[in-house]
Amino acid sequence: MKTRKLVRVLEGERIFPPPVWLMRQAGRYLPEYRATRQTAGGFLELCYNPDFATEVTLQPIRRFGFDAAILFSDILVIPDALDRGLHFVQGEGPKLTPIRPDEIARLDPSRADTHLAPVIATVARLRKELPEETSLIGFCGAPWTVATYMIAGHGTPDQAPARLFGYRHPDEMEQLLYLLAEMGADYLIRQLQAGADCVQIFDSWAGVLDEATFEAYAVKPVARMVEKVRAAVPDAKIIGFAKGAGSLLNGYRQKTGVNAVGLDWTVPMDQARALQTEGAIQGNLDPLRLIAGGKALDEGVDRILEGLGDGPLIFNLGHGITPDAPIAHVEALLKRIRG
């Protein structure tokens, strides 16, 4: 088998036009996703049923022929394996039982292997059913981002509850992040062993941290995960996405050991190019350009291709595709990239 495109870029090769996939590419903007979700009954029923999860992962590949498929699941399956009362309220996002400092030492990861077995089964199924040339991306949440939901019990605009928790209870915070790093690494190892070509670590809330907590919460636990994953799978290819981290992204690759650095749309071209001299980057179109379409979309795509197309690049959005993105605009994006 020839090495798949995404993996070649993760090894530092430049491919033009660049391989492309979109974060949250399986989702509510697709009528076929909405139909399968309806049949499944709920979001978690989709995540834990290999038939449904395989189907929705394949939907955007069939429709658009992206270069990579991302496993359909969620970062919150880890707190779910810890029995944190995860449920999804329509239109409100995830809810969990907020964790208290004194509960952290009692968290029990022993259920995780059994609980996550259907997700691992989905990975194996996907590798068999995907076209030979399509890369398969596994993923998990970074410890800090998963911790923010476990602490607040829901999404917040600035993760104030988790930040305060860290300042008031630094030992418990360190313990929680360590546990999530161990569990996340074990989970990624199983995904890679089941057939994922690479994995992405989502640190969607890295951007609310100051310099010291970024180092302690975003860099150190992710470095630990990368180390643990590589001890089991020496050539593991890993994408680190620390959204909103700005200038703190400089040095992130070296400190954590990830192969590629994911960029959100606020990262300036000069910084993106500097990061690209050290290895692959992924990103970074503003998802709202995809909603607007037309000139806004074309200009955004062209700027990335012109500015970053001569180095190792995985084309992506700077964050997930939104439910209101028109399908015709996704088609226009792909045409603009591939010609």
Ligand X SMILES: Cc1c2[nH]c(c1CCC(=O)O)Cc1[nH]c(c(CCC(=O)O)c1C)Cc1[nH]c(c(CCC(=O)O)c1C)Cc1[nH]c(c(C)c1CCC(=O)O)C2
Q: What are the angstrom distances between the C-alpha of 170 and each of 153, 164, 167, 270?
A: 19, 10, 6, 36
Cβ proximity to ligand X, 75 vs 189, nearer residue: 75
> Which one of residues 29, 48, 52, 139 is an interface residue with ligand X (CB under 6 A)?
139
Q: Are strands 87-89 and 93-95 parallel, antiparallel or unpaired?
A: antiparallel
Smallest distance from the beta carbon of 23 to ligand X, in angstroms? 5
Is 80 among the catalytic positions?
A: no
Catalytic, out of 33, 149, 187, 252: 149
Is 25 annotated in a binding site? The answer is yes
Q: Is the dihedral of CA 79, 235, 223, 19 positive or negative?
A: negative
Q: Which two tokens stand for residue 98?
A: 């907020």
Cβ proximity to ligand X, 76 vs 223, nearer residue: 76
End-to-end CA distance of the chain: 26
Interface with ligand X in residues 40-79 (CB under 6 A): 43, 70, 72, 74-76
The binding track of 257-286 with respect to ligand X, each residue x by CB under 6 A or -, is ------------------------------
Cβ proximity to ligand X, 69 vs 311, nearer residue: 69
Residue with tokens 């050290």: 278
Is 28 annotated in a binding site? The answer is yes
Cβ proximity to ligand X, 170 vs 323, nearer residue: 323
Q: What are the angstrom distances between the C-alpha of 34 and each of 25, 251, 323, 331?
A: 13, 40, 10, 19
Give the separation between CA 10 and CA 226, rounded to whole angstroms. 15
Burial bucket for residue 247 (CB in 10 Å: 0-12, 13-18, 19+): exposed
Residues engaged in binding ligand X (CB under 6 A)? 23-28, 37, 43, 70, 72, 74-76, 93-94, 139, 145, 155, 202, 204, 320
Annotated binding site for substrate: 24-28, 74, 149, 204, 319
Known catalytic residues are: 24, 28, 37, 74, 149
